[in-house]
Chain A
């Protein structure tokens, strides 16, 4: 028995060191994007290795729901890959403050990204950046072009036009004006409040004011979007209170709804599932001539494992991520996930191209609860889910909803305390 046991241990040690030796010869990227495995293996990595024949690199994804826990365990055990795909804001900041990610401040490649993109992977004071921004998702409305043509409406530009379009679709009666439900609450906050909100709270300006404590969530810019949401209810499908996110997706892809408040991450799936023509319009302006802000949420970055034995080779990859080549390659390979670099790129997918074109006229911002202000109890982001759904359901007035958010935030967030 003892004999078997010790030989077993010896064998596993051998195996362990063998795999370690193997890992040392090539770089490994840790990621949660297992949907993108083939894209990395067939498109992105070969392109990189073509220009850098001395570096070998492997993409090794984990299931999204297990990623954070698995990565933490691997980092603690010292077995994590050289390149770490970073979630935005606090979960990566947490890894950095534990010393698992290297400070990349000063890397030339970072100059290719705007501050709003780097903010998602920087310390609160901006003194250190620990991941290279990779991709963002943009909020907007996807619509059924055939339905719009049939009813004879044009994509709206302003809030007033938007309501007129909804009225017309409702009058026509063949389509549900908008596919959205409030059961999961997440939709109400993301596709609702965070989608249309930046236009009212003026993007980064409003978001930073909340973080700094100079603005309040009860200010006009933060209450207005709730007032807009409060009018959505009648245009959603029957029983939308019990409609879940997959329900909404199916409703739209079956062609039963005309508009789908959403984000660019749906593009790949919708292209596959629909047999009608898709279009997209950006969140309506509060009024003609207002300046335009869109939610261009930083979602994915890549950082360097501080314990990596191949940091030099890994740095080469990070440098390459700031090039136009990567930006164009990636954004085309994964439609709906847009490179965050400042290069002007062209996309072959018309829907994705429509989304990214908004960056030209509009200023980008992150989801308002993503940075710093969701660290305490009550959790601002959770509260946003709940009150957004309440407002659409008609269970809470917009002013009440904003009050609840502000009261909750000021209960623990020092800059917001009275």
Chain B
């Protein structure tokens, strides 16, 4: 039968329809990515300006020269910590708020939903500036606020202390982005069918245990997606640190993330000459870190998540 069938003409319209998207995507995503990778294999001589092929030299320097490896690993570790705080604070609180919002009897639901989502729409620069001002030891409100609830002695110049700066910035970022997990989970919770809930109630599963045993299980895939979005966002973070702590991500590089070290390396900083080739190497490593994270999720976690037909 197969042999008898007339050969189908090539479906040109598929190419025509796909073409624009492929061309645009290639031009603005794939080509720059390939260019970055190619760039990272070259070296520019600072005195003669001659660019020459250097193979893996930039990468070897990045991982084994102590003056590159130490700041790089420091920023990698800081970035992991930044991500960890988001996973431990942003996502659980996001789920909690979504769960509260999805309760039927909560008054002012829409107001809360909008208010909590609002900061996500603000620019990093605005968020950084507002928080810097609020936490400022000179003009900020935080000192007075803490005093009024009796914990004034706990006040510190949070952004200026090595021990607290990164945690503070992570929490600022959590404050800004908590709306995203909240919204996604809120939507997922709303789509849990009533029959399932009713069946659970018939079996005597109510309240908190209903949430953990029924709803949470059903929204696990959404939580997975949120985790991966958080991961990608956190490992690309840069703006908040740059606007609050400056290009050197002080104090003592304690808030240096991969994004800030990339920026400094690529564009330079005052007397530090920019080194686009080394910058490209860092960008490539960042790309692979994110790629690995996403791959681990896709191949090992997402496959184990059971999706329930709802």
Contacts and interface: CB of A to CB of B under 8 A. Distances in A.
A339 interface: no
B86 interface: no
A186 interface: yes
A182 B252 contact: no
A385 B160 CA distance: 14
B269 interface: yes
B67 A378 contact: yes
Interface stretch (A134-142, A236-244, A275-283, A301-309): A236-244
B67 A381 contact: no
B248 interface: yes
A385 B246 CA distance: 12
B310 interface: no
B160 A374 contact: no
A97 B250 contact: no
Interface in B258-303: 264, 269-273
Contact of A382 (B46, B162, B248): B248
Given A183-B250, A185-B246, A186-B246, A381 B272 contact: yes
B160 A375 contact: no
12 contacts: A90-B271, A90-B273, A182-B160, A237-B138, A238-B137, A239-B157, A240-B137, A242-B157, A374-B271, A377-B68, A389-B251, A395-B252
Nearest to B132: A244
Interface string B241-254: 00001101011110
B162 A395 contact: yes
A185 B264 CA distance: 15
Contacts of B264: 382
B222 interface: no
**Which of the listed residues A89, A183, A240, A412 has the most CB atoms from chain B within 10 Å of its own CB?**
A183
A385 B271 contact: no
B272 A386 contact: no
A239 B160 contact: yes
A378 B74 CA distance: 15
Interface string A353-388: 000000000000000011000110111111001100
A185 B138 contact: no
Contacts of B253: 386
Contacts of A408: 67
Nearest to A371: B271
Given A184-B246, A240-B160, A247 B136 contact: yes
Contacts of B218: none
Contacts of A416: none
A393 B67 contact: no
A272 interface: no
A137 B253 CA distance: 29
A185 B252 CA distance: 9
Contacts of B246: 183-186
A186 B247 CA distance: 10
A185 B250 contact: yes
A230 interface: no
A237 B137 contact: yes
A379 B138 CA distance: 32
A243 B138 contact: yes
| Dominant SS among interface residues on chain B | loop
A295 to B, nearest CB: 15
B251 A241 contact: yes
Interface string A58-102: 000000000000000000000000000000011000000110000
B168 to A, nearest CB: 9
B116 interface: no
Contacts of B47: 97
B153 interface: no
A377 B72 CA distance: 13
Contact of B271 (A182, A242, A381): A381
Contacts of A380: 271
B159 A242 contact: yes
Nearest to A248: B138
Interface in B194-211: none
Contacts of A241: 157, 160-161, 251
A57 interface: no
B183 interface: no
A239 B137 contact: yes
B158 interface: yes
Contacts of A375: 46, 273
Contacts of A374: 271-272
Interface in B123-164: 132, 135-139, 156-162
Interface in B86-140: 132, 135-139
A247 B49 contact: no
A159 to B, nearest CB: 26
A390 B250 CA distance: 10
Interface string A118-137: 00000000000000000000
